[in-house]
Structure 1
Amino acid sequence: MSLNTSVVRLLVAKDWQLFQKQLAFYVLAGIVALCFLGVGKPWAFYVGSLTLLIVLISAACFSISTSLVVERKEHTLAFVMSLPVSPLDFTVSKLVGNLLTFGVPFVLMLGGTLALVLFTPLPDGLFVYTLLIFAWLLFAYSISLSVAMSVESEGWATFAMIGPMVLINPYIMGLGQLDAIRTYTGKDAIVWTTPTVAIMTTLALLAVAVIGITTWRHARKPAFY
């Protein structure tokens, strides 16, 4: 099957236009969260960390719901089907569009957080810990996006968006129980241990596998339904 890149670009641009105003709000809220993190006080660090997680989770859910769940609910897919677009084109456009709209605030917040760790009095040991948390958010987003693309039920799609993101709390608690991670978070040095590398590698591979399987499954469809 060939990919109609011109149509894909138009569909991606459509999703981007739907999200750009909210994207600016999420980026602004993320900057506020980073400002709290940079204060260096325990209370400000807690507020900033919590706000940053809320911003990223909200951005992820909004990106998926706007381009997939709301589109199904408002039956705008019929218009897309009237275009010279194949199931592969539609699948690629949705994946690229969602990864772009979520990727912008994700990358900005990741870069900002890592910069704060490296260039402020915050312990450098938080560098690896930050990557572990962002790795989970990216994995959870890939799960949410794949399920939302694969099911027609709004309820299941909503559950898939919220469920993996909510599991960030037990995930963080689990990281805190590992001596190979907990021991170095307060140190003023970046230390890579076998568990940290294993966790990040596993989450990255799972995220790629989930997105790849979803793309392959939808690309094989001869029609949208």
Structure 2
Amino acid sequence: MNLNIPVIRLLVAKDWQLFQKQLAIYVLAGVVALCFLGLAKPWAFYVGSLMLIIVMVSVACFSISTSLMVERKEKTLAFVMSLPVSPLDFTAAKLAGNIITFGVPFALMVLGTLAVVLFTQLPDGLFVYSLLVFAYILFAFSISLAVAMSVESEGWGTFAMIGTMVLINPYLMALSMVPAIKDRIGEDALVWTTPALAILAALVLLSLAVVAATAWVHARKPAFY
């Protein structure tokens, strides 16, 4: 089955235009968080890092809930079905739309965080640690997106988003128990260790696998949702 690329582009553009103002606010909040981080003071680092995590979690939840869950609740799917679009086209558009609306702020915050770490008085050891934190957020987003697209229950979708994001605290605690990671955070040098590389690679590959599996499953469906 061939993809209707023009219609997919229109659907993705629709989502982006609807959400771009809200996403700009999230990015602005992220910039404020990065400014706190750049002060390189203990209190500012705590406020900035906490604020940055909250912003990224909020972006992920906003993208999924508004594009999928709210759309189902408001029953706007009937409009989409009136277009020359197949279930495969709709799946591709929803996946691409969610990845873009989350991915743009995510990429900006990743690059901004790494730049702050490298060009301020913060220890360069935070570079690898920051990537590990962002890798988990990416993984949590992928799981939440897969669940939201696979089940029609708003409750299960919300549970997946909250559950995966709440688990970031145990994840951070687990990282702090790995000497090869914990001992490098305060060093003023960028050092890649085997555990850090393994965790980073695993989370990125799992995220890609979840999205790919979601696309494959939905591509085989003969009907919408």
Interval of TM-score (by shorter of Structure 1 and Structure 2) = over 0.9
Deviation digits for residues 88-141 of structure 1, max 9, x if unmatched?
111111111111111111111110100011011100000000000000000000
2:66, 2:91 → 1: CA distance?
15
- By how many angstroms is 1:33 displaced? 0.3
Q: Compute the RMSD of aligned alpha carbons.
A: 0.7
Instruction: Report the counterpart of residue 211 of structure 1 in structure 2.
Output: 211
Where does structure 1 differ by over 6 angstroms across 4 or more consecutive aligned residues?
A: none
TM-score, normalised by the number of residues in structure 2: 0.99
For structure 2, the residue ranges without an aligned partner over 5 or more in a row are none
- By how many angstroms is 1:82 displaced? 1.2
2:89, 2:162 → 1: CA distance?
27
Describe how 1:14-163 pairs up with structure 2 within 5 A. 14-163=14-163
- By how many angstroms is 1:21 displaced? 0.8
- By how many angstroms is 1:205 displaced? 1.0
Which amino acid letter does the alignment assign opposite residue 120 of structure 2? T
| Percentage of pairs with the same residue | 74
TM-score, normalised by the number of residues in structure 1: 0.99
1:17, 1:223 → 2: CA distance?
27
1:223, 1:45 → 2: CA distance?
49
1:212, 1:104 → 2: CA distance?
19
- By how many angstroms is 1:18 displaced? 1.4
- By how many angstroms is 1:27 displaced? 0.5
Which amino acid letter does the alignment assign opposite residue 124 of structure 2? D
- By how many angstroms is 1:42 displaced? 0.1
The count of corresponding residues between Structure 1 and Structure 2 is 225
Deviation digits for residues 65-99 of structure 1, max 9, x if unmatched?
00000000000011111111111111111111111
Which amino acid letter does the alignment assign opposite residue 221 of structure 1? K
1:124, 1:89 → 2: CA distance?
44
For structure 1, the residue ranges without an aligned partner over 5 or more in a row are none
